[in-house]
Amino acid sequence: MLTSADDFPIHQTPEPVATPATSDRNAYDRYWFNGYDRDGAFYFAFSHGLYPNRFVADAHFTISVDGVQHSLHASRRAPLDRFDLTVGPVGIEVRTPLKVLRVYVEPNEHGLGCDLTFTARAAAIEEERTTTRNGHHVIMDSTRLTQLGVWSGTVTLPGGRVLEIDPATTLGTRDRSWGVRPVGEREGGAPKPFNPMLWLWTPIHWADEVSLWASFERADGHMYHVDGKRVAATPLGALPDPAAVPVPEDEPAFEKLTPHHHALTWVPGTRRIQGGEFHMLDGAGEPFAYRIEPIGTRGLLAGLGYLHSEWGHAVWQGELEVGYESWELDKVDPLRFDRQHQQQVIRVTELTGAGRVGVGVVEQLFFGPHRPYGFTEMLDGA
């Protein structure tokens, strides 16, 4: 079926754009954003996912402030037109590709809303393609871009309080990923083997550059997928000029970083990172390392549907459904299965070079044994 996207020269197959190149039911195309105050006073995140072979689109907005995390969830039948980025009151506007995007939640019965604009500080980083198997079955095969920037706009909390989002003090990251990944209702068939995993992702804002660590590893600590890069950025404190942010055809000077080990500590009784060090090699083979320290608040990515028992990604909710929930972060069971995917705002201190100080987040998802850190069960705490 033809849609407005077919009037642009973007086809990758002989089919119309609305027809995915794969019949895999777990095909997806996702937007994801986070933002946080530099001192950790609040953390927010936003996502929009399209699952064309499951005929579902969903979108979520969540914010943690004053010890409470508020989340708005929305789900609908997927539109055929790929330019339709709305799910009920939630939507995205791509103002300048790879530079400026707006996300919003229009006024609704739940009282949680936003009107936020992301402006990039640096060029978008193309992460290495990720392919993961469960036995012989490919369960994840995706590409992702990551970009760091600043936020402006407002967030309206239930009860009417409005947070003014200042781009001088509100930093963040966005990503776009697409391909195949586990989503939706469980598939049938025989039980599949369990793959222990530790996922770590640290996009960092430095004074004049941004950097990224990404890694997947198994129970023995072997990192079977690693990725890292850094690139020059608009100086922190200066408002980015979108015209000056390079795009791929400008050939921005990315430097490859190679993660090789980390030394983490854990909040007792949990699997939540308390602090630690990340060690890499830069493009010249020289050490590049930093220490992380949690500051302020964190966000549980269940607020965006990740692992959520009701609002999970690609789960059919009906033609259009919108819901709201909140929880006190300190009262959440730290070993609850669907609360293990999380991000923490962090202060970062360089252990090499000039000893710079930066700010960012550490994202973690951690299930199963991990011998180097002494975990032996599916979800035993430190």
Q: Where are the domains of the chain?
A: 27-186+193-332+340-373
CATH topology of domain 27-186+193-332+340-373: AttH-like fold (2.40.370)
* In contact, 63 and 206? CB cutoff 8 Å: no
β-bridge pairing 90-96 and 258-266:
unpaired
Q: Tell me the C-alpha distance between 150 and 127, whole Å.
A: 20
pLDDT at 7: 84
pLDDT at 136: 81
Structure tokens at 46: 């936003």
pTM: 0.96
* In contact, 28 and 183? CB cutoff 8 Å: yes
Q: Tell me the C-alpha distance between 11 and 138, whole Å.
A: 25
Check residue 162 and give left, alpha or beta (phi > 0: left; psi -120 to 50: alpha): beta
Q: What is the DSSP string of 70-128?
A: EEEEEEEEPPS-TT--EETTEEEEEEETTTEEEEEE---TT--EEEEEEEESSPPEEPP
Show the 3-state SS of 132-166. EEECCEEEEEEEEEEEEEEEEEEEECCCCCEEEEC
Residue 214, C-beta contacts closer than 8 angstroms, at least 6 positions apart:
127, 200, 201, 225, 226, 227, 228, 259
From the list 288, 289, 293, 261, the residue with the least C-alpha distance to 276 is 293
Mean pLDDT, contiguous 10-residue spans, the chain (382 residues) = 87 90 92 97 98 97 98 97 97 97 98 98 91 80 93 98 97 96 84 88 97 96 95 94 90 92 98 98 96 97 97 97 98 96 98 94 98 97 96
pLDDT at 280: 98
Structure tokens at 219: 């129970």
Q: How many CB atoms are located within 10 Å of the residue 258 CB?
A: 15
What is the CA angle 161-163-169, rounded to 5? 160
pLDDT at 251: 78
Residue 355, C-beta contacts closer than 8 angstroms, at least 6 positions apart:
349
DSSP helix/strand/coil, 217: strand
pLDDT at 3: 85
